[in-house]
Amino acid sequence: MSKCIVVMPAYNAAQTLVWTYASIPKDKIDEVILVDDGSGDDTADVARRLGLNVIVHPHNAGYGANQKTCYMEALRLGADIVIMLHPDGQYDPAVIPDLIRAIENGEGDMVLASRFLDPDGPLKGGMPFYKYLANRFLTTAENIALGTKLTECHTGYRAYNRKLLETVPFLRNSNDFVFDTQMIFQTVAFGFKLSEVAVSTRYFEGASSINFRRSVVYGLSTLSVAFKYLLHKLGIRKNPLFMC
């Protein structure tokens, strides 16, 4: 049987962590790791009271840096499947068994929990309209660059098999939000399979979200990754992100 570990990259998640953890189907996983990225609240203390495996960054290193710690620790503990779940209560933990099943059945080496498999789902869940439009534009651009037909490239809820995490050079990736995008492009560049499962989300005050300015920077960074990938793929300019 696969060893399944949930990793939570956390920053100021004390108010939503208890609900998120309580909603995880515990019979499907072996362990939960929370990496606190220098939070200003008591996220780490709440996580310890819940019995989670807690790692604390001494300062805020960034969302991508947080994930690097998450994955290295999960691999060290022998995970066969790693599920990355935000502790902010936005994504439904109930689909964890679907993510695991897709990995175990060979449907994907990386499985994305997509909010857009139901096209109206994100807006029903309260996604701001500007984020909806940006998601549609960026996902379309990324599908063109990748040659894929994903319904969403910008979910923060995903699962990986061990082989993928041991192969792609994710430690070279950004320490910022574009880390997620780089992981998708690396998955394709190294010949791994992508698949999706549906997930419902909810947007509410207190759920983590990047502001408009950071969203613009993230969008431009995403397009930059797609451009660099195309240059690499065409042999015009090789990029270490897509090489062993």
- pLDDT tens digits, 27-60: 999 999 999 999 999 999 999 999 999 999 999 9
- Alpha-carbon distance of 169 to 173, in angstroms, equals 7
**Residue 93 structural domain:** 4-242
Count of domains observed in the chain: 1
Question: In this structure, what DSSP letter does residue 147 have?
Answer: T
- Calculate the alpha carbon distances from 231 to 23, 90, 118, 146, 226 in Å: 43, 35, 33, 12, 9
Q: What is the pLDDT of residues 129-176, one digit of tens each?
A: 999 999 999 999 999 999 999 999 999 999 999 999 999 999 999 999
Q: Which two tokens stand for residue 1?
A: 């049987």
Question: Domain holding 121: CATH number?
Answer: 3.90.550.10
